Every structure is written in structure tokens, then in C-alpha cells.
Structure 1
Amino acid sequence: MIDLSRRRVLQTAAAAGTLPALPRIAAATTPPAKRLVADYRILDVKGKAAKMFRLTGPDGKAGIFLAPNERFRVDLVNRTTTSTIIHWHGQLPPWTQDGFPWPQTPPIAAGATHAYDYAPISGTFWMHSHQGMQEQSLMTAPLIVHSATELREDRQEIVLMLHDFSFRAPDELLAGLTGQTTASIHAMVRQAENVAAPESSGNMLGRSRDMRGMKMESGSSMGGMMMKPGDNAGGTAMGGMGGMPMDLNDIDYDAYLANERTLADPEIVRVQPRGRVMLRIINGSSSSQFWIDLGVLTGKIVAVDGHAVRPVPGRRFPIAIAQRLDILIDLPDSGAFPVLARLEGSRRRTGVVLATKGARIVRIDEKGLDQAQPVDNSLETQLSAMRPLVSRKADLMHRIVLSGGMKPYVWGLNDQYWPHIEPLMLTKGQRVEIEIVNRSMMPHPMHLHGHAFQVVALDGKPIAGAVRDTVLVPGRMGSSVRIAFDADNPGRWAFHCHNLYHMMAGMMTEFRYQSIAV
């Protein structure tokens, strides 16, 4: 559990010299960088041991917590036996500090240390490896940046991080989907590109590549994406648009974790009767999406992906892969209150229990009575940013089509497959709008590095939506999301599906500023 009271936040801020009432401290007394150590640990899941990665901060707990106005000054120490690189998901650093393995920013070698120093934005964020498939092996942790406003609020802070877990190695999981290694997938894509001559895609990107050279199994196509039930490798298929099967879960995991524990032994978080709780929920899963179920409690969404929204009350909220929810809850007098994460398309669930002192804790089965519905954008339609983008006309518009299938297991953007892509070029100062259209029957949580965007349309209907960094494009043929952002952070920036297996199978591209030489 990560539980921060207002008093602890105040103490942390005072120790860092960041309380607004205190005089500014001279640069000569700037505190030393925080040490973030990447190494290994043994995790017990259902009575069985598994060797996993971990990211440990200076206080011995997972991740990094910053006081208001504190810089992100972190020395990342790699104590693993392999190279790694950590992405500060949702933060807006210079591109060379983003934690993505570009040629200019190679991974950190085993035994090496790399320094980071930038001004962070406040909110609920997280960190994860962008090296291979280390994220699936729990190379992840919270990244919480407090704001000055929080110092004035009397509330208990609880961080809840979700994971999907397997005793099998990530490469084995991927091979179970593809029948081959990642290198073989990329070789197959290159072969297909050589067979299929490039042609105009009919969208704003011009030249594209297609998959006509690839043999497709009967019942599946990359263009129309008709798939048979059961094609999801042991996952879940549900009815989609027009009766078409909609695949939800690529992998049947061994466990789903809430703060690294299952409901067989859930974390009990002690809370005060009639207390106020800020629940920061991070979906750090590699390929799983959930419904957050507060049970008898009612909460208010006050921020998504670290960005404030006009409060949305409720008891049940969807959370896509890599997204975050800040939920403000006023507790009743006393009792035990499960907060559950229900896997979409499944009866499986995980969670924690908020309990007052002396409350009776009842065992919760890891399978519920009914199956959770697919995660959708029902919450997205209700969200409105507290600090929206300044209204202006778009200078640049792109249309990005998401395509792919289970057989072969290859996923792409505009018929291009990472790393064999053509970057989308930007110029600093532009207002950019991206129309993301799903031509597959799987959902895709799309994440843009280095920028916060606003959701401005869903299925062609304009909205003044949330500002965030990861948006779900539902698994429905033709579903679409339009986002807008200001090109104000020159560099090379990845744009990809945050389903790790889709990304590894090609669903990633690059936004590159004209001023950046490669």
C-alpha cells in the first residue's frame, strides 16, 4: 500500500524546502538527486514464487513521490543484469529525457547510472520500462507529483496500482499469440512490404505500406478484420458491432494484482470513519482493462491521467490500459469497503479493502457473479477538462487508421508496422488534430509521448473533453476518437497502442519535429 496523509505530505514538502510560506532556498543548497534503483525481487503470488523486476525510490517504496514545486532530479541506477530504460509516462520532459530507446537515447547498461533533471507537471503518473517486454515483468511503479493545492486539503491519499501477472516469461506469452518471436514478426513484415508495392493510402499521410503479401487465415482479414470467436488465444470474445465478435483479452493471465496482491490476500487499507480519501488508481497492466467498482461507496472523478476534470460522481468507472483515475471519496461512519477492479469481459477481479479500525473483513472471491462488460468511452463522454486547450483552428490534421488481427498477430497504424514506419512531421507552434479510426475488433488505448492532448470528438461527435495522455479507441469497427494538442515540445515522440503485445507486434509510430536532425 502507498498511503499518504496530509501530515506526511506537509512533512515531505517541508523537508524539501517547498512550502509556499518558506523563503526560496539558494541553488547552492539544492537537495541531492533522488536514487531510483532498478533491480529484482521475489514476488509471492498464490503461494508460488516468481522473480520480477522492481523500481525502488529513496524511501524504500516503489516509485517516486515529489513535493509541490520539486524538480524531477533522479539518478536511475540499473542493478539488473540487462539493459533498461524507464519512461516517465504522462510527463512532458525534453525528448532526450523521455525514456524511449531512440538511437540518440540508448538504454542504460547493466550496472550503469543515468541522471534525469526536468520540471515535472503535477498529478498521478507512472513509470515503466520501454525496453523490450520488461513492463510485463513488473518494471513499473507510481510517479506522483503533488500540487500546492493538495497541502490545503485534509484527506488521506491512497495509491492503487493494477497489474496483470503471469508465471510465464513475456516472450513465451508473445510466442503463444504469434507462434514466433518478435524478431520473426518484424522479418515477416519486411517480407510483406517487399511483396506489396507502396501506394497512396488515401489519407493525409500519403505513402503507406500494406499487408497484401501476407497469407491470412480464413475468417480473418487485415482490412475488414472479420475474426472467429476463440481467435483470442484463450482470452475473451464478446459480441461487437452487428454481431461481429469483439476480442478483448489477448492473454489468460495467472493473476490480477492490486498493489501486487490478489483477493486471496488483499491489502487492507486502514481509513478513518467519515474520512475523506483521494484514491489514485493506475492501470499498470500490460494488456488488461478494468471497471473500477466502489461497491456501496460513491466517489467523484476529479482528474484523469493527472489532469483535473469537472467532478463526475459515480460508483463504477472504466479504466483502460495505462490510464489513471483520481477518485475523491467521503467515507461513511465505519465498516469495510472493497474497491474492486473487474476485468472486462470476465468474472475475474482484484482489489483492496478500505476498512475502519475493528471492521469485520469478509473474504472476497476472485470471481464475481457476473461478467464485466467491455471497457468503453461512457466516462469519456462525461469528462470536461478544468484547463482545456485554448480554442483555435487546427494547423495540421492527420487520420490514423488502426488495423490488425489475431491471425497473423500483427498490428499497425496506417498499414505501417514498427519499426518500418514513416514519421509524422510536426512544426513547433502548430495546433495538431489526429483522427484515430479503429478498423479492428480489438480496443486500443493510444498513448502519445511528450504531450498532453484534449479529446475533442468521439465517433465524429464534437465534445469538449478531458485533457489526458492515453485515450481508448473502442474495439468496434469504425469507432473513432479525435484528439488535439499543441506542438510545443520539439523532439522525437512515440505514439503507440499501450497494449504491450499490440505495440510489440507493430502498432507504433513516431511524431517528429522538423527541427530534429536524425
Structure 2
Amino acid sequence: PDLPQPLLQPGQSYDYSFPVTTPGTHWMHAHTLQEQQLLAAPLIVTDPAEAGADEQPLVVLFHDFSFKTPEELLAGLTGSAPASGNGGMAGHSMSGMSGMDMQGMSDGQGMSDGQGMAMPMDVNDIQYDAYLANDRTLDDPQLFAVERNGTVRLRLINGATATAFWVDTGSIEGEAIAVDGNAVTPVRGRRFPLAMGQRLDIRLRIPDEAGAWPILALREGSVERTGFVLATRGGAVKRIAPVGDQATAAFDLAFESSLVAAKPLALRSANRNQAVEIGGTMQGYSWTLNGRTWGNHQPIAVRKGERIELVLRNASIMGHPMHLHGHHFQVVAIDGRRFAGAVRDTVWLPPMREVTVAFDAANPGTWAFHCHHLYHMATGMMTVVDYAA
């Protein structure tokens, strides 16, 4: 709210007019906790240069869902109300080792303090009632009809409020071709990370046979999953349980390190470097940027025409998807190692890691910079990029 428009009141309307200049997989959503109540939708901008491509586009929007209101969930997280049962806290604690719930930490859910000592990390802080793909669970997944030997372009959007997913293409090897609406040099694989707010385009070649192939979204650090099914005519569709046999690993930066932008930013030196330390704890549920919460924040000041580098360091023991409004940035370093990474608008920061992103200050205004885990945003992890007059 108020960046720049106030909340849209009941019965009120507002018309927006803007140039459509950036093709790709985008989305639109409320920037309040109303997103938790599914107030979101895809926004796909097709590229005229790809009009002749012989591929079938399929759009899928992922969500996490709770029967509790966002206000109830937030009260449970901040300790102002109990959070028992479904839709409550996942049970992890960050208030030191005492009281630490090790659930979800046995499958690589840990890290080193840099001195050889293992430290627990938190992965999920809310246990949702359901995980959705186009508003459906695996009890009744969406079936997409596909052609034998055809090419499919998955346009995947993680609209979840507090859940990151591993996208698993199963027996079909996929090719990641774009992130956050920006093309990358193709990266082949069968499992790709998709954090809250991020988008991922994957190209698949359907086998030349009758069949059905599930594409699953596996909850990070846990066993829950959602997804959809690609099926040819005559393909046998089997039931898929909404819970897997083994918890997935926590996100790392291996995929991010492998990405190369198809259209990188122009080479130039940065005019301004800004360190941003990401902090916070589950105790009291307070999340900060440079030690400050929203309302006490220090804006990131820029001038039009500058090249800005933000050095993002996660000093907390939970991962954070950091998102900048009004711009796309390029990942230019991970843990100090420089490279020409992806151009995107949301980047994942694992615990105790550092990612440097660069952007050109070409869109004057006051723009939010925040964690796309919306309960982290709501409890402080937000500031603004502010253009000097």
C-alpha cells in the first residue's frame, strides 16, 4: 500500500495504462497478505519473435492454502495467538539450540558456521492445509492434453506466500529456458528450484508414445507436494499421493550458479555499491534489512542513470526470496565469485550466503525491495529503492 497507490477500497476502481515492453512469464497479485487468499493471476506477455514456434504453452500458478485467515496465521507466528493444528507453525525454532524441533532438518537441512560446526536451519514456518497447482491438489490434478512427440513450454509461477517448491519433471528431462520472464542459456535437468515470487519456463519434449507424465512441485524441506499431469490420448493416468516418501533438500545456489543471461546488462562499472544484510529470528518473529524493520527502514538512495550493485548477505538461518519492484537485476556474483548470471527480479538467498545483483536506475520512483515470503515482509523485511529528486 502507498507505493505508490493506496489500498483499493471496496467499490473503488482505478485504471492503469502501461507499455508492454518485456515479454515473458509474469504475474499480478495483491501486495498485502491477501495474496495468501489467492488474490493473484498469471500475466503472460508473448514475444512476437516466437510466434512461429511449434510448442504448446501451458501456464501453471502454484499456491499454498490455509483455511485460517492470514491474520490468524500471522498472530500464530508472532506469538500473539496459539498456532496449533493445520495452518499453524511448522514447529521450528531459531531461539538457539534449546527447544529446536529437528523435523525437516535431517535431509540436508543444516549448514556450517564456517568453523566446521553443524548448525540447524529453518526451512518452513507454516504448515498449510493444501498446496495447489492452478487451484487444484493432487487429489484432482489438472490434466493437460499433449501430443505425442510434441514440444511443451511450461510457464510456471510460484504464487505461494511462504512455500518454495522443487519442480520435478520426472522421467522427462526438461530444459530451463527463462527465469522471471527473462531468457537464459538453456539448462537441462529434472529438478529445478522455484522460490516464492519467481517464474520458470521449462521446455519439454513429450515421448513418442501414449502416456501420462506428472510434473510435481515438491515442498522445500518436506514431503508435501502438488502438481499436474501431461497426458496424450490413450495415456493411463495414475493417482499420485499428495505426500511423498522422503523430504526434499533445502534450496542451495547450484541452479542459480549455472544460469547465464541471454541478454545481460551492458558491461559497466557500478556507480554505487550497497550492502544489505538480511537478518531475523523466529523468536518474536522479526525480520530485518540492515538491522531495521519497515517503518524504521533506511531507503536505498539512487540517481537516475546509475548502475547499482546490491550485495545481499543472509545472516539469518532461513532462506529468503528477495524481490525488487520496478526493475530487473542481474545476478553478478555469488559469495564473491563474479559471473554473468541470470536477469531476474527475485533471487533466493540461502542462510549464510551472499549474492550480488546489479541493476540500472532507469525507472524513477519509490520502489519496494522486500522478501517475497510475505509473512517476513509483513513483519519487517522491506525497504525501498528511492530515486533522488
TM-score by length of 1: 0.69
Tell me, yes or no, if structure 1 residue 343 matches structure 2 residue 219.
yes
Offset of 1:396 from its aligned partner? 0.3
Q: What's the counterpart of residue 316 of structure 2?
A: 440
SS at match of 1:247: coil
Match of 1:467 in 2: 343
Once the two structures are superposed, residues 362-382 of structure 1 have per-residue CA deviations (whole angstroms, 9 ceiling, x without a partner) of 111111121111122211111
CA distance in 1, matches of 2:35, 2:110: 30
Question: Which residue does 1:178 correspond to in 2?
Answer: 78
User: Aligned ranges for residues 24-63 of structure 1 at < 5 Å?
Assistant: none
Provide the rounded CA distance (Å) in 2 between the counterparts of 1:404 and 1:445. Answer: 14
Question: Residues 225-246 of structure 1, C-alpha deviation per residue, up to 9 Å, x if partnerless?
Answer: x4556469x8868322232111
2:168 matches 1:168 = no
Q: Give the residue type in structure 2 aligned to 1:330.
A: R
Report deviation, 1:113.
Answer: 1.3
1:287 to 137, 157, 162: 162
- Given that 2:178 and 2:200 are in contact with CA atoms closer than 8 Å, whether structure 1 keeps it comes out as yes
CA distance change for structure 1 residues 506 and 362 in 2, over 3 Å: closer, same or farther? same
Q: What secondary structure sits across from 1:115 in the alignment?
A: coil
- Picking from 12, 28, 34, the partner of 1:127 is 28
Please tell me whether residue 308 in structure 1 is matched to residue 183 in structure 2: yes
Contact 2:94 2:100 (8 Å CA) reproduced = no
Corresponding residue of 1:157? 57
Q: 1:505 aligns with which of 364, 372, 379?
A: 379
Deviations 1:35-67 (A, max 9, x none): xxxxxxxxxxxxxxxxxxxxxxxxxxxxxxxxx
Cα drift, residue 150 of structure 1: 2.2
State the Cα deviation string for residues 78-123 of structure 1 (Å, max 9, x = none): xxxxxxxxxxxxxxxxxxxxxx533x52122111111111112110
Choose the corresponding residue for 2:2, options 91, 97, 101: 101
Counterparts in 2 of 1:111 and 1:270: CA distance versus 1, 3 Å? same
**Among 149, 157, 176, the residue aligned to 1:274:** 149
**Residues 227 and 405, structure 1, Cα contact 8 Å, conserved in 2:** no
Name the CA shift for 1:258/1:227 in 2 (closer, same or farther; >3 Å): farther
Distance (Å, rounded) in 1 between the aligned partners of 2:329 and 2:44: 20
Q: Which residue of the partner structure matches residue 375 of structure 1?
A: 251
Q: What SS class does the counterpart of residue 27 from structure 2 fall into?
A: strand
Structure 2 distance, partners of 1:469, 1:176, is 30
One-letter amino acid of the counterpart of residue 391, structure 1:
L
Query: What per-residue deviation string (whole Å, max 9, x for no partner) do you get for residues 340-398 of structure 1?
Result: 00011111111000000111111111111211111222111110001000011100000
Bigger radius of gyration among the two: 1
Q: Alignment partner of 2:75: what SS?
A: helix
Q: Does the alignment pair 1:240 with 2:107?
A: no
From 299, 311, 317, the counterpart of 1:423: 299
Matched, 1:258 2:133: yes
1:480 equivalent in alignment to 2:351: no
Tell me what 2:13 maps to. Answer: 113
Q: Deviations over 1:313-351 (max 9, x none)?
A: 111111111111100111102210000000111111110
After TM superposition, list the pairs within 5 Å mapping 1:321-360 onto structure 2.
321-333=196-208, 334-360=210-236
* Closer, same or farther: CA 245–387 of 1 in aligned 2, 3 Å: same
| Equivalent residue letter for 2:198 | Q
Contact 2:104 2:222 in 1 (8 A): no
Residues 137-161 of structure 1 deviation map (CA, whole Å, 9 limit, x = unaligned): 1111101000102211011110011
Cα gap change, 1:228/1:158 in structure 2, threshold over 3 Å: closer, same or farther? farther
Residues 227 and 462 (structure 1), Cα distance of their counterparts in 2 relative to 1, 3 Å cut: farther
Maintained 8 Å contact 1:456/1:465 = yes
* Alignment correspondent of 1:54: none
More helix by share: 1
Instruction: Give identity over the alignment, percent.
Output: 50
TM-superposed CA distance for 1:422, in Å, is 2.2
* TM-score normalized by the length of structure 2: 0.92
Kindly tell me: are residues 235 and 287 of structure 1, through their superposed partners in 2, closer, same or farther at Cα, counting changes over 3 Å?
farther
Letter of the 1:311 counterpart: P
Confirm or deny: 8 A CA contact 1:454 1:465 kept in the other structure: yes
CA distance in 2, matches of 1:112, 1:462: 48
Alpha-carbon spacing, 1:231–1:170, altered in 2? closer, same or farther (3 Å): farther
- Please state whether the residue corresponding to 2:187 is helix, strand or coil: strand
Provide the secondary structure at the position in 2 that maps to 1:116: coil
Asked if the contact 1:246/1:442 (under 8 Å) is kept, the reply is: yes
What is the letter of the counterpart of residue 373 of structure 2?
N
Gaps of 5+ in 1: 1-99, 182-217, 221-225
Matched residue SS, 2:72:
helix
**Which residue of 2 is the match for residue 364 of structure 1?**
240
